[in-house]
Each structure stands twice: as C-alpha cells, then as structure tokens.
C-alpha cells in the first residue's frame, strides 16, 4: 500500500487505518501559534457509513487504500444474493444484499451499477443519480382532489414504495432520485 503524508490529504481519498477503511469527507490543516501543526479530519467508514472526527499530526504517514471501480451488469437475485457479471471477462460475482445498501431498491436486470472494490472485497455500489421505474401498484387519484402538492404511496417494479403526485396511475413510468428516493417526474 502506498503511504501518503497527512499534509497531502484531499477530500475523497480513501485511507486504510487500523480501525478500517475510511473516506476523507473534510480536512483542515491547522497551525496554532504555539505547538506543532496538525490536520483535523472528518472520516466516513466505507463499510458501515459511521462518521468520526480524527486529528493527525502534520506530516504523519498514513496508508492510502486503492479503490477500483468497475461497471458490472446486474443479472438476477436469488433471495439475498445478487448476481453481477463483469462485462469484460464475463465472470459472475455473487454479492450479499447487506453490502449493496439501498441499491436493490432501484436495481433492475440489465442495469450496470458501478461497484467499488478494495482488492477482491466490494466496499460500495453506485447507480446513476436517477432511474426510470414502472409503477405496479397505486390507488387511483380521487376525482376533485386538487390539493397542491398532495401525494400518495406507489409501489414500483422493484418493490420500493415512493410518494407520487395524485395524477400517477398504474403502468406509468416515473423517474426516481436514487440519492433521496423521491419522485422526480413522469416519463
């Protein structure tokens, strides 16, 4: 593993520390009037999402983790195991649901999310900012109900429940924001 100085920290760098893998969220180089300089950081655990504050001495050496990102095609799921295929080598990879976070809420066959690898371990997965899904179950809007901003729950083809406006019906294609899980527009 390459070692870097804490003076060279940047937002987004991943560090391999003794307590796990951490992404640098923010950092601040502090040089007080008295005493040695230090670097104050906010780190996010890659595996469980916990955020912690950590202070390093200026010039201290830390291990940088090399994270490789590959787009892999989603094939199918077998219970809590999701199967992806590398589009270059056609190698299939089985991934437990716990590793994917809320990605399965938006995942359809043939989609190609970006999976992040640390060695052979998957440490993250990312979809585009929005996906198009078909509404499979929603109650019809009530005639005459014209309240501005009124919403109703709708189930999409992945099983996720999304709050949608009253005019959305069964079979409609909608765009959903994958970061917030909110309805964006009808397609």
The C-alpha atoms of residue 80 and residue 98 are separated, in whole angstroms, by 8
Read off the pLDDT of each residue in 122-150 and give the average, rounded to a whole number.
Answer: 81
- Are residues 77 and 96 part of one domain? yes
| Bridge partners (DSSP) listed for residue 123 | none
Give the model confidence (pLDDT) of 4-19 as tens digits.
Answer: 998 889 998 999 999 8
Give residue 137's domain range. 130-186
pTM reported for the whole predicted model: 0.75
- Same domain, yes or no: 148 and 180: yes
What total number of domains does the chain contain? 3
Write down which residue in 46, 63, 80 finishes a domain: 63
Assess whether 49 and 96 both reside in one domain: no
CB 99 within 8 A of CB 121: no
Tokens encoding 110: 């043939």
Strands lying side by side in the sheet with 51-57: 14-17, 20-30, 38-45, 51-57
Whether residues 106 and 156 fall in one domain: no
Pairing of strands 161-165, 151-156: antiparallel
48 and 94 fall within a common domain = no
Residues 56 and 19 in one domain: yes
Residues 44, 7 share a domain: yes
**CATH code for the domain in which residue 45 is found:** 2.30.30.30
The two three-digit tokens of residue 149, written as one number: 């901003």
Together in a domain, 40 and 14: yes
Which tens digits make up the pLDDT trace of 33-77?
888 899 999 999 888 888 999 999 999 999 999 989 999 999 998
| CA-based R_g, the chain, Å | 22
Do 13 and 50 belong to one domain? yes
168 to 104, 111, 144: CA distances (angstroms): 23, 24, 15
CATH number for 180: 2.40.50.140
- State the residue for tokens 């440490």: 123
């Amino acid at each position: 593993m390459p070692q870097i100085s804490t003076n060279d920290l940047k937002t987004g760098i991943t560090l391999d520390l003794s307590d796990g893998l951490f992404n640098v969220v923010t950092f601040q180089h502090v040089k007080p009037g008295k005493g040695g300089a230090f670097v104050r950081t906010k780190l996010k655990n890659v595996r469980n999402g916990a955020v912690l504050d950590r202070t390093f001495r200026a010039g201290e050496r830390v291990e940088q983790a090399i994270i490789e990102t590959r787009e892999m095609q989603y094939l199918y799921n077998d219970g809590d195991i999701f199967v992806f295929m590398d589009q270059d080598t056609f190698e299939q990879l089985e991934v437990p649901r716990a590793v994917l976070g809320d990605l399965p809420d938006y995942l359809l066959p043939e989609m190609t999310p970006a999976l992040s690898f640390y060695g052979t371990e998957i440490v993250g997965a990312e979809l585009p900012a929005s996906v198009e899904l078909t509404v499979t179950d929603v109650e019809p809007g009530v005639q005459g109900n014209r309240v501005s901003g009124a919403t109703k729950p709708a189930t999409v083809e992945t099983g996720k429940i999304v709050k949608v406006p009253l005019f959305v019906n069964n079979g409609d294609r909608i765009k959903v924001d994958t970061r917030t899980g909110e309805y964006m527009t009808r397609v």
